[in-house]
């Protein structure tokens, strides 16, 4: 009886093994070894900044789909893009990295409060109640949903405003996806000029609630010689690629034209010619002042030297002079050499 049971189990096990072996051969899916190599090259953050569910999903897509770029991994940066490009046989993509940017200066504008919010400390929850407690419905609510969503600790709160650490931000886009007021956006790190306000309201509505908000006066649009600034859906927008391509020859006419100083320089390459001349003149003046101070330090002031042979010097020094003369010794620190 026992022997029959053992033989039956052995036969069943052998049959299952044969079936599984046949199934593995019939349903075998050949896997490209480059997928595993790409997975090893990726940082493994699984942040979703590339648009895929994780690093493995992106690795499969970049190898199997010819339309997927090798430079989508924002967490890895240029080095990872080059490695993925070599493994996939594609171009590394754009070498112009981006960074998250907050389009709100409510701390400068003294934005009025509609009411005191005492509910769940979340931007999403606060935004559901009359678009938030701020009178401007396009302001940063300051409860830190983006800070919690950032997988790289590149954001923190300061004075109820989110602050972005440029050294840690990899432009994964996680913060943008959770911002209910769409205050955050991605801009090139080399961006020269940017609008520090995201309002879509008219002039009077903005001036009633914020002292620094964009009033949509359109002066920047009219003054821009490169025609890269436009008014879209109630907002002032800058075509950053076209602005960078045009270069600093415009001398940032839009910045000078803005009556509320809401268009500002972002990068030193965008300094105007006038500002460059002022900086150069200031630097030259400081250099001349430093040279004059150095010359003054090296040149002794004879008016401050003691005349140790004068009757007006202290008695102690006259005694030292007499001692020096009598003993035929010279002391450069007290008196002149005896003759």
Q: CA 338 to CA 335: how far, in whole Å? A: 8
Q: 146 labelled as ligand-binding? A: yes
| β-strand partners of 232 | 235
Query: 209 with 111: CB under 8 angstroms?
Result: yes
**Is the four-CA dihedral 198, 204, 209, 211 of positive or negative sign?**
positive
Q: 47 labelled as ligand-binding? A: yes
Q: 150 labelled as ligand-binding? A: yes
- Which of 302, 224, 318, 321 is closest to 263 using CA atoms? 224
Q: 319 labelled as ligand-binding? A: no
Cα torsion 16, 17, 20, 23 to 10°: value is: -110
Q: CA 305 to CA 303: how far, in whole Å? A: 6
Q: 210 labelled as ligand-binding? A: no
**What tokens appear for 20 in the block?**
């599984």
Residue 155 DSSP SS3:
strand
Query: 228 with 239: CB under 8 angstroms?
Result: yes
Q: CA 248 to CA 271: how far, in whole Å? A: 7
Q: 136 labelled as ligand-binding? A: yes
Q: 217 labelled as ligand-binding? A: no
Q: CA 158 to CA 168: how far, in whole Å? A: 17
- Which of 259, 262, 215, 260 is closest to 238 using CA atoms? 262
Spell out the residues 6+ positions from residue 83 whose beta carbon is closer than 8 angstroms to its own. 41
Using CB atoms within 10 A of its CB, is residue 115 exposed (0-12), middle (13-18) or buried (19+)?
exposed
Q: 104 labelled as ligand-binding? A: no
**What tokens appear for 173 in the block?**
């886009």
Q: Compute how many other C-beta atoms are within 10 angstroms of the C-beta atom of residue 1.
A: 5
Using CB atoms within 10 A of its CB, is residue 254 exposed (0-12), middle (13-18) or buried (19+)?
buried
Which amino acids are annotated as binding site, given as ranges? 47, 50, 55, 73, 136, 140, 146, 150, 169, 172, 175, 179
Residue ranges at the known binding site for [4Fe-4S] cluster: 47, 50, 55, 73, 136, 140, 146, 150, 169, 172, 175, 179
């Amino acid at each position: 009886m026992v022997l029959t049971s053992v033989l039956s189990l052995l036969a069943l096990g052998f049959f299952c093994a044969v079936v599984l072996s046949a199934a593995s051969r019939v349903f075998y899916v050949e896997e490209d070894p480059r997928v595993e190599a790409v997975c090893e090259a990726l940082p493994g953050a699984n942040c979703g900044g590339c648009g895929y569910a994780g690093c493995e999903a992106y690795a499969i897509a970049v190898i199997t789909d010819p339309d997927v770029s090798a430079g989508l991994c924002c967490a890895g940066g240029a080095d990872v893009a080059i490695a993925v490009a070599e493994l996939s046989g594609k171009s590394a993509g754009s070498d112009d990295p981006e960074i998250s940017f907050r389009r709100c200066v409510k701390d400068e504008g003294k934005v009025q409060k509609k009411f005191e919010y005492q509910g769940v400390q979340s931007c999403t929850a606060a935004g559901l109640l009359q678009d938030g407690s701020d009178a401007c419905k396009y302001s940063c609510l300051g409860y830190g949903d983006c800070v919690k969503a950032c997988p790289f600790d590149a954001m923190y709160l300061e004075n109820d405003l989110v602050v972005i650490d440029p050294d840690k931000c990899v432009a994964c886009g996680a913060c943008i996806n959770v911002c209910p007021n769409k205050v955050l956006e991605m801009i090139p790190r080399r961006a020269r000029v940017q609008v520090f306000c995201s309002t879509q309201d008219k002039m009077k509505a903005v001036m009633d609630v914020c002292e620094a908000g964009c009033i949509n006066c359109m002066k920047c649009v009219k003054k821009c010689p490169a025609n890269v600034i436009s008014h879209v859906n109630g907002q002032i927008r800058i075509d950053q690629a076209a602005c960078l391509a045009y270069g600093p020859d415009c001398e940032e006419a839009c910045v000078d034209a803005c009556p509320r100083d809401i268009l500002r320089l972002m990068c030193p390459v965008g300094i105007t010619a006038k500002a460059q001349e002022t900086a150069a003149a200031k630097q030259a003046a400081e250099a001349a002042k430093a040279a004059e101070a150095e010359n003054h330090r090296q040149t002794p002031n004879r008016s401050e030297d003691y005349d140790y042979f004068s009757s007006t010097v202290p008695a102690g020094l006259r005694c030292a002079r007499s001692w020096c003369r009598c003993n035929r010794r010279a002391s450069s620190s007290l008196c002149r050499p005896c003759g």
